[in-house]
Amino acid sequence: MTTPKPIEKPISDANFAFGRFLKFWRGVHNLSQEQLADLINSSPRHISRLENGSSRPSQSMVTDITSAFELGQRDSNHLLIAAGFVPITGELDFHAPELKWLRKAMTLSLKALDPYPATLANESNDILMVNRGWVGLFGQNIEKATLDRVTNNYEFLFSRKGAGNFVSGWEDTLSVILMSLEQKALFGNNPRDKQLRDRLAKRSEVPSDWRQRAAVLEPMSSFRIQINLDGDLHKFVSVHSTVSTLGPAALLSGPSLNMNTYCPEDENLDLSKYCQGQLSHPLLFY
């Protein structure tokens, strides 16, 4: 007599975050599984399987669900991330009238960092603002006309006329930056990211084996530069921080801004004198 095989039950994944998010938003909108299924042309059984983790949604289904709940960008992207998809961050119009509060806050932050040099940039590292410390410090070694044309932090670091002459381990630093851009392009498949990567990779200063170099180097959140000030060589460490434009819990789900500050290794180095006098730059707003 043949023993019948037991019916295999789907194994649910309680650690699959999407199910928790889905159940949460259903509760917020006071919708039953049947009502949600009707809104997105699905079945109550499938909604139940999504919530207990025994099924995974397609990207189009996640989009249908965010539309049914009328979620904003932050919450829509949290659902996409929870389901294993890349968030759609879009472009941030930093100069839009409704972001006046953000521009004011960033200006105050940059001003507070003086005399330490700092820049504010978007996700493509296009510089949005600089502070007096940045203009004053780099103005000691870079001609004003050249400094005034600086609009992108990556371009600034990749150029011998910019900060390229000051970066320690320059070729390795460029390689790691390019690798970060490469992987960002692979994640998001954004033409803008690909164009920036290709433009920088074509520069004559970039080592031909940058991929191989970066593959054996740990990613770095900072790098070091050395600048001649009044005849003495001083070392600085770049410190990078990210500012979310959608709130503290949304660093991955919306456009972000990057604050980069150069801090001297010598704590006794007085940079205040480089902030004095008439300083100007197209991106200096105070």
For the entire predicted model, the pTM comes to 0.74
**Structure token digits, residue 152:** 């992108």
Is residue 68 located within the same domain as residue 177? no
The reply to whether 281 falls in a domain is yes
Condensed to tens digits (0 to 9), the pLDDT of residues 198-247 reads: 999 999 889 999 999 999 987 666 788 999 898 899 999 998 888 766 55
CA atoms within a 13 Å half-sphere pointing along the CA-CB vector of 250: 20
CATH number for the domain including 75?
1.10.260.40
Is residue 45 located within the same domain as residue 69? yes
**Domain end: 30, 56, 82, which one?**
82
Is residue 21 located within the same domain as residue 152? no
Is residue 51 located within the same domain as residue 161? no
Is residue 30 located within the same domain as residue 154? no
Residue 227 near residue 137, CB atoms below 8 Å:
yes
Q: Name the residue with tokens 């150069």.
A: 262
What's the pLDDT score for residue 273? 94
Is residue 70 located within the same domain as residue 212? no
Q: Which residues form the domain of 59?
A: 17-82
**How much of the chain, in percent, has pLDDT values that exceed 90?**
63
The reply to whether 12 falls in a domain is no
**Is the confidence at residue 1, as pLDDT, over 70?**
no
Is residue 161 located within the same domain as residue 275? yes
The reply to whether 1 falls in a domain is no
- Rounded Cα–Cα distance for residues 159 and 161 (Å): 5
What's the pLDDT score for residue 247? 55
Is residue 195 located within the same domain as residue 265? no
Radius of gyration over every alpha carbon of the chain, rounded to an integer in angstroms: 25
Residues ≥6 apart with Cβ < 8 Å to 57 = 18, 50, 65, 83
Is residue 99 located within the same domain as residue 208? no
What's the pLDDT score for residue 250? 47
The reply to whether 8 falls in a domain is no
CATH number for the domain including 113?
3.30.450
**Residues shown for the chain:** 286
Burial of 115 (0-12, 13-18, 19+ CB in 10 A): buried
Closest to 269 (Cα-Cα) out of 137, 135, 118, 110:
137
Is residue 175 located within the same domain as residue 60? no
Is residue 105 located within the same domain as residue 26? no
The reply to whether 10 falls in a domain is no
Residues ≥6 apart with Cβ < 8 Å to 120 = 106, 109, 110, 127, 128, 129, 130, 243, 257, 258, 259
Distances (CA, A) of 2 to 5, 7, 35: 9, 15, 44
Residue 237 near residue 222, CB atoms below 8 Å:
yes
The reply to whether 2 falls in a domain is no
Q: Name the residue with tokens 């009044």.
A: 230
Sequence letter at residue 203: R
The reply to whether 88 falls in a domain is no
pLDDT category of residue 251 using cuts at 50, 70 and 90: very low
The reply to whether 156 falls in a domain is yes
**Domain end: 197, 219, 241, which one?**
219
Is residue 99 located within the same domain as residue 160? yes
pLDDT category of residue 22 using cuts at 50, 70 and 90: very high
Domains held by the chain: number: 3
